[in-house]
Structure 1
Amino acid sequence: MAPLIRWLTAALLLVCATQAVGDSIEIRDFDTPVMKERYRDLTGSMRCPLCENQAINDSDAPISGDMRDRVYMLLQDGQSDTEIINHMVDRFGEYILYNPRLENRTYLLWGIPLALLLAGALLVVLIVRARRSASSASLSAEERARLDALINRKRSP
């Protein structure tokens, strides 16, 4: 009796496991490889609202599945990538984009890295100029005499 229960339990677990694996696999039919690549690019460029920093093509959240379905339907309807992204942003918000658009609200977000880069370049230029002018300055007669005295003192034992 015990081996039969073990066998039935193992069979039930196997059926449940194959069902769970089968549920997570989505099969999409595309007319062309280009459309398949567009789908992959679009779903990779949008973040899951629930998972926060995971693309919808990698997320198992139900909302990501809905978003993938919507992208697939819009692709099948013949919409462009921009139209699909606009539709998804209208529906789920700007948060789903990994790279926010350049708008009045995002100037600071895009401007800070540029400003830091320019400030760093300016700082490097100023440091190089200061070192160049310091190294090219000649010694005065008094400084030259003192330097010669120090050198001569070291040479004589």
Structure 2
Amino acid sequence: MRVLLLCLVSLPAWSAIDVYQFDNSQQEDRFHRLTEELRCPKCQNQSISASDADIAKDMRARVHRMILEGKSDDEIVGYFVDRYGNFVTYRPPVNRGTLILWLGPLLLFVGGALVIILLLKRASGRADTDEGDDQP
């Protein structure tokens, strides 16, 4: 029973590790940088370098192949954006379709700050009227 449990616990360690060969260290550095910059479409908030999803493995293999073919970083990222949309990048371009992504956090912050300010004013107004009722 213990052996079976030990085998099940160590199962993730048996998973295959992708090994890519490069012509030089610059290509390897580009590969690591690009796989950190591209987001896994399935995992949503993981880079393709950190994801174990099949689609991320395919994307890593494609990045490797494109680097060896001599494609530029912009061409590689453009390929994945064309295929999966702007979501695949952690820094989508500012355009009409992504404006809410860029302005959304700011709008939420400003809206939250306004709500807090209004609640504090209302609470201080109640405190002032309560103090005025206590005096003869």
TM-score per shorter chain, which class? Answer: 0.5 to 0.7
TM-score of the pair, normalised by structure 1: 0.57
Deviation per CA, 1:18-69, whole angstroms, max 9, x where unpaired?
8864543111111111111100010001111111101110001111001101
Counterpart of 1:99 in structure 2 is 91
> What's the secondary structure of 2:98's corresponding residue?
helix
Task: Output the CA distance in 2 between the equivalents of 1:13 and 1:76.
Answer: 43
Counterpart of 2:102 in structure 1 is 110
Counterpart of 1:79 in structure 2 is 71
> What's the secondary structure of 1:79's corresponding residue?
coil
Cα gap change, 1:29/1:53 in structure 2, threshold over 3 Å: closer, same or farther? same
Counterpart of 2:23 in structure 1 is 31
Task: Output the CA distance in 1 between the equivalents of 2:8 and 2:65.
Answer: 30
One-letter amino acid matched to 2:33: D
Compute the RMSD of aligned alpha carbons.
3.3
Uncovered stretches (5+) of structure 2, i.e. residues with no partner: 109-136
Cα gap change, 1:85/1:114 in structure 2, threshold over 3 Å: closer, same or farther? same
Task: Output the CA distance in 1 between the equivalents of 2:24 and 2:96.
Answer: 38
CA contact (8 A) 1:51 1:61 kept: yes
| Structure 2 residue 41 is the aligned partner of structure 1 residue 41 | no
Higher relative contact order (CA 8 A, sep 6+): 2
More displaced, 102-111 or 64-73? Answer: 102-111
Task: Output the CA distance in 1 between the equivalents of 2:63 and 2:22.
Answer: 12
Q: Equivalent pairs: percent with the same residue?
A: 39
Larger Rg: 1
**Residue 115 of structure 1, CA deviation:** 8.7
Task: Output the CA distance in 2 between the equivalents of 1:77 and 1:69.
Answer: 12
One-letter amino acid matched to 1:61: A
Cα gap change, 1:107/1:79 in structure 2, threshold over 3 Å: closer, same or farther? same
> What's the secondary structure of 1:104's corresponding residue?
coil
Cα gap change, 1:11/1:100 in structure 2, threshold over 3 Å: closer, same or farther? same
One-letter amino acid matched to 1:37: D
Counterpart of 1:134 in structure 2 is none
Counterpart of 2:132 in structure 1 is none
One-letter amino acid matched to 2:38: M
CA contact (8 A) 1:44 1:56 kept: yes
Uncovered stretches (5+) of structure 1, i.e. residues with no partner: 1-8, 117-157
Task: Output the CA distance in 2 between the equivalents of 1:72 and 1:48.
Answer: 16
One-letter amino acid matched to 1:36: E
Q: How many residues align?
A: 109
